[in-house]
Structure 1
């Protein structure tokens, strides 16, 4: 690591610890030439995940979209914010464990529905009604029957 003060190309690590966010490492470094100390942060670089939409357009993965969908489905339901965040983390873990560079949005939708089914059945039906684009009451009832079995 290059020293930001004297530009010497080699510095030494004095201390390493996890950063506050838990997703990076904070390192205290010292330059052997000028003697100054500074802090660096290391973070794992991830390959961007591309989502293939229904119309075959592609866009970069955005966790916020999943959060919004799950929050909308759980609106006014007895589900704690902690449980919602845990579910979103679980959804994201399942998505990234597929280890694919491109994933169809339909796969993500199915993962979200599976997670919601265990979280809150009403939230599941709400999400499914939008995701599966229920055309009438009969398709809605078919989905409810699946849950009741």
Structure 2
């Protein structure tokens, strides 16, 4: 550490203390040349995770935003809050282990969907419908069919993906209005059974 008074590069540490928050260490140093004391602070340098959006924008990774999205996807599903928090923690840890601090939003979405697929399939479909921005029903059905085919391949699907098609209902045949001319205008008489 360079002495701020004389510029000498050698010093000795006289005292070290951790800050109240625990995010830095305060060190009192004494220059070996001029014997003057000065303070330095040591902090861990954190390079934040950055999400590269589809439109080219960059925004910092937000754990709360991820948590909120997963809570919406798992709403009214048998998934505990603790399990969702664990999933978010696992995803964040995997992202922090990456050498690259920038991740594409598409890649993050795929990671989330892979985790949700094993957690709860309804939550997976909900998240996928928002994330993949399905434009119409065929896109949605295609995603569901893909999920069902994977389930069938894994041997976990005992019901056919879609019910067998039923024959179309035939339209009712027209009822003849009158058998004899002038009968249509005649009043209908009803009798009571005794």
TM-score of the superposed pair, with normalisation by structure 1:
0.71
- Give per-residue Cα distances to partners, 1:18-54, cap 9 Å, x unaligned: xxxxxx6899x9x9xxxxxxxxxx9744211111111
Gaps of 5+ in 2: 1-12, 29-41, 150-194
- Give the secondary-structure state (helix, strand or coil) at the position aligned to 1:51: strand
Other-structure match for 1:116:
116
Query: 1 or 2, which has the higher helix percentage?
Result: 1
Other-structure match for 2:143:
143
- From 2, 14, 22, the counterpart of 1:10: 14
Q: Highest Rg: 1 or 2?
A: 2
Other-structure match for 2:75:
75
- Give the secondary-structure state (helix, strand or coil) at the position aligned to 1:144: helix
Query: 1 or 2, which has the higher strand percentage?
Result: 1
* Structure-1 separation of matches of 2:102 and 2:84: 25
* Structure-2 separation of matches of 1:134 and 1:101: 29
* Structure-1 separation of matches of 2:62 and 2:43: 19
Other-structure match for 1:37:
none
Cα offset, 1:10, TM superposition: 2.4
Matches within 5 A, 1:1-149: 10-12=14-16, 44-149=44-149
* Structure-2 separation of matches of 1:105 and 1:26: 32
Asked whether the equivalents of residues 24 and 43 of structure 2 are also in contact (C-alpha less than 8 Å), the reply is no
Runs of 4 or more, structure 1, over 4 Å off, are 24-27
* Structure-2 separation of matches of 1:94 and 1:80: 21
Q: Which has the higher contact order (CA 8 A, sep 6+)?
A: 1
* Structure-1 separation of matches of 2:147 and 2:23: 44
TM-score of the superposed pair, with normalisation by structure 2:
0.55
- Give the secondary-structure state (helix, strand or coil) at the position aligned to 1:10: strand
Gaps of 5+ in 1: 1-8, 17-23, 32-41
* Structure-1 separation of matches of 2:85 and 2:57: 28
* Structure-1 separation of matches of 2:110 and 2:76: 23
